[in-house]
Chains A and B, each alone.
Chain A
Amino acid sequence: MKQFTSNPFYKFILFPIGQMAVFIFGASLALSVLIILLAYIFRSTITSNFDLVERTLLILPQVLINGITIGFVYATIALGYTMVYGVLEFINFSHSEIFMVGGIVGVELMAYFDHTGALETMNQYVVIAMAVLLAMIISGTLAVTIERIAYKPLRNAPRLVPLISAIGMSFFLQDAVRLILSLTTGEFNVILPNFGTFDEFLVLSVPGIEAPLRFQIKSILLIGVAVVMLVGLNFLVNGTKIGKAIRAVAQDRPSASLMGINVNLIISITFLVGGALGGAAGVLFALKVTRLDPFVGFFPGLKAFTAAVLGGIGNLTGALLGGLVLGLLESFGASYLSIFTNGAFGAEYKDILAFAVLILVLILRPSGLLGQTVAQKA
């Protein structure tokens, strides 16, 4: 048994994927059961020309797919917040802009291929891989640069000071990108070129269910890439020497430095990894929504931050769980609110529902779903 658990394949690939599957399955199941129950309870009270239970079941698969897809985007961004928090104990609010920069860089690369005509001949998955890779490099480098310029000089200042610096950096990046875009392309919107078969559907007929399940290829791609990156991150943090050093710095910076760990380097690596994940998430997000602009990072960033808090900030598994739960909650809220309230509350109230749940969780478990109560470090 011991031999089996220490097998790296099990430990670094099977276990995290299994964990994700459990999270997805558990959260989906809990919410689905709840919504179906509610549908049966309110079936007679709602006077519409459609049956509430029938309609609920009809859109349920799509709602789940949407929630999981956006949940993975949130989880990938949330990891950036939670890693930096784990190491430096402050919220890196410029992470939402790193996410945005990654997305814009990726889309601009694809637009460049489109412009030169290379896009039609290239394999679509190679294009996406190149865009993701470039976005990861640029966003990672940007995150490290920001840390050096805006946070490192403030490392011994009171904790609010780097927070303000981060917010300032966030505004700076938004307008810098807007300026660069208006000087180069002259366009405010960055539009994903049309290519490949990503918009098509994989139709799956399940016996017993009337409407076939429709998976959009780009949703599957998005989830796939996110899973690969999350597994990679898990390996990096738990299976390598660098990861050990990151964990050591997170636990106790002075002691880690006494043990011969180069703390500055480790902090830079943390930002590099977090930024690269954010950049990749930006490209995936762009693939999903097809349009970006310099201010697009704000809401996903805020949601991802919420996800990190929901799961227990500083905890990598927590960020993953938080992202998925938030994505699903939002998707359920958005799709069912208007059906259940007969149009009185529309999709616009989805965030209120998601944040109400966040507040409830934080009242009951102040450290988040998977967070441990950590004594405040001096």
Chain B
Amino acid sequence: MKRLSTLLSVLVLASMVLAACGGGATPTAAPATEMPATEAPATEMPATEAPATEMPATEAPAVIGSGTIKIATQSPLSGGQSLLGVAIKQGAELGLEQLGGDLKAMGFDVQLAPYDDQATPDVGVANAKNIVADSEILCGVGHLNSGVMIPSSEEYHTAGLAFVSPANTNPVVTTRGYLEVNRVVGRDDVQAPAAEEYAFTTLGAKTVYVIHDKTAYGQGVAEFFRTAAEEDGIEVVAFEGTEETSNFDAIVTPLVAANPDVVFFAGIYNQAGVFFKQAREGGYEGTFLGTDGMDSSDLAELAGDALTAGGGMAYTTVAGPVSAYPKAATFATDYEAKFGALPEAYAAQAYDSMGVCLTAIKNAAEAAGGTPTRTQVAEAIRALTYEGLTSTIAFDDIGDLPTAKYFIIKVNANSADTWNTNEIIDSFDLPSPGQ
């Protein structure tokens, strides 16, 4: 018995040591608050001198508050979708560092509170409860997955905490009409028909095989695509949902037998990459089509030559490559300098979301003459017009952009290093369908 207890204590000790190591090296679910950069831009600095003249400078914000303001991020920082999730966190982090000067000058200590939702609704909601319980959090940036955003935003709505989403495209995110929920990207009920349009007119597809990942995002996109395809007279030979992530034999065999012109995969890259590879190995020669969930260099890492073989692969997205946004050039170099990697999709959108949060908090603080309430921040978000990297952001009455940008991108990459050789075939501005 004594040996057993010794053994157990050794194990417990070992796991504690491991956990401690993990905290430093890997992103964890705990809200590791990170200090923003200490130096504010030089042009915005006279806040401390201003009061002496009794006439506060109109340009520089006066010191009106004190205390800590936190801005949360929620995205998958671990697991198969972490590449995009970490990009969202890092985009927001850079945003806070570069745009947080005004609030600092007003006397606030602005911090980032990153949370890891693990791309799982349960974890997202649990984190959301933690986030709303922290009264210093006044605004949030997130999530990556609509299926996580929708249940989590019920918590934000109840607590009146505003969130700006850099990536969620499922219509339901905003069509519930919550004041607290906003997004800086387009919607699936526009994006999926755009993908279908491409399949129908450019690729000339007559048959299509639709696969989705059974999440709110994937199934939503797949259904919009199917509706549009049926209207155009494209035959939908199958409509399958799967949560499989490794062995796709079950789908590949009937797929190769049916031999459709286009395979439309509505899901995220970590699942799609493996599927594309196995489908090509199984002998499928047609074209793969996807939506914005495909937009990650990991897709090329997973699928390799399968993306360029046969009919190739294309996807629609609501977040084009950073090179598609002229104003984001400095952002890309700053991002690479700070994090040592090119920004993945949604990093620029996360930067803009952070900008929206910071500007709204600043406006609300000025109006309130001190630390604003969450409701004041949420209302300020709907009132503002913000000049972002990706577009001029002004939300309509449900939190959508009145007009959003959509891209169709053809994949030329067969490895992660060549991901930026992908080519934008088309891009257009389309109005939001509203509620």
Contacts and interface: CB of A to CB of B under 8 A. Distances in A.
Interface of A: 49, 55, 58-59, 62-63, 66, 69-70, 149, 153, 172, 176, 178-179, 182-183, 188-189, 191, 194, 199, 201, 214, 216, 285, 288-293, 296, 299, 330-331, 333-335, 338-339, 343, 346-348, 350
Contact of A70 (B3, B249, B256): B249
B221 interface: no
B247 A347 contact: no
A58 B18 CA distance: 53
B274 interface: yes
B73 interface: no
B80 A290 contact: no
Contact of A348 (B15, B79, B242, B302): B242
Contacts of A339: 254
Contacts of B282: 62
Interface in B245-284: 245-247, 249-251, 253-254, 256-257, 270, 273-274, 277-278, 281-283
Nearest to A176: B18
Contacts of A62: 253, 256, 282
A216 B256 CA distance: 14
A188 B254 contact: no
5 contacts: A59-B253, A59-B254, A62-B256, A179-B21, A179-B26
Contacts, number: 109
A346 B238 CA distance: 9
Contacts of B79: 188
B205 to A, nearest CB: 16
A55 B257 CA distance: 8
Given A149-B7, A191-B301, A348-B240, A290 B278 contact: yes
B174 interface: no
**From DSSP, what is the main secondary structure of chain A's interface residues?**
helix
B373 interface: no
B31 to A, nearest CB: 19
A153 B250 contact: no
A335 B246 CA distance: 16
A333 B254 CA distance: 11
Contacts of B18: 176, 179
Contact of A188 (B78, B241, B249, B305): B78
Contacts of B78: 178, 182, 188
Given A176-B18, A346-B241, A348-B242, A289 B278 contact: yes
Nearest to B22: A179
Contacts of B25: 179, 182-183
A205 to B, nearest CB: 15
Contact of B274 (A149, A194, A285, A291): A291
A288 B247 contact: yes
Contacts of A70: 247, 249
A81 to B, nearest CB: 19
Given A66-B249, A216-B281, 19 more contacts: A55-B257, A62-B253, A149-B11, A153-B3, A179-B26, A182-B22, A182-B78, A194-B305, A285-B246, A288-B247, A289-B247, A290-B278, A290-B302, A291-B245, A333-B250, A343-B238, A346-B238, A347-B242, A348-B241
Nearest to B3: A153
A355 to B, nearest CB: 15
B133 interface: no
B304 interface: yes
A335 B247 CA distance: 13
B11 A331 contact: no
A148 to B, nearest CB: 10
B251 A347 contact: yes
Interface in B274-313: 274, 277-278, 281-283, 298, 301-302, 304-305
Interface string B213-250: 01000000000000000000001001111110111011
B415 to A, nearest CB: 10
A179 B273 CA distance: 23
Given A188-B82, A214-B283, A335-B250, A343 B302 contact: no
A334 B246 contact: no
A153 B79 CA distance: 34
Contacts of A183: 21, 25-26
B4 interface: yes
A257 B241 CA distance: 54
A335 B253 contact: yes
A291 B242 contact: no
Contacts of A59: 253-254, 256-257
Closest 4 CB pairs of A and B: A334-B250, A289-B246, A66-B249, A346-B240
Interface centre among A182, A216, A333 (most CB of B within 10 A): A182
Contacts of A291: 245-246, 273-274, 302
Nearest to B76: A188
A189 B298 contact: yes
Nearest to B240: A346
Contacts of A178: 78
A199 B282 CA distance: 9
Given A216-B281, A290-B277, A346-B238, A66 B80 contact: no
A290 B254 contact: no
Interface in B77-105: 78-80, 82
Given A179-B18, A289-B246, A334 B251 contact: yes
Contacts of B298: 189
B15 to A, nearest CB: 7
Nearest to A59: B257
Contacts of A216: 281
Nearest to A62: B253
A115 B192 CA distance: 39
A309 to B, nearest CB: 21
B270 to A, nearest CB: 7
Interface in B6-20: 7, 11, 15, 18
A348 B239 CA distance: 11
A347 B243 CA distance: 10
A58 B255 CA distance: 12
Contacts of B243: 348
A136 to B, nearest CB: 21
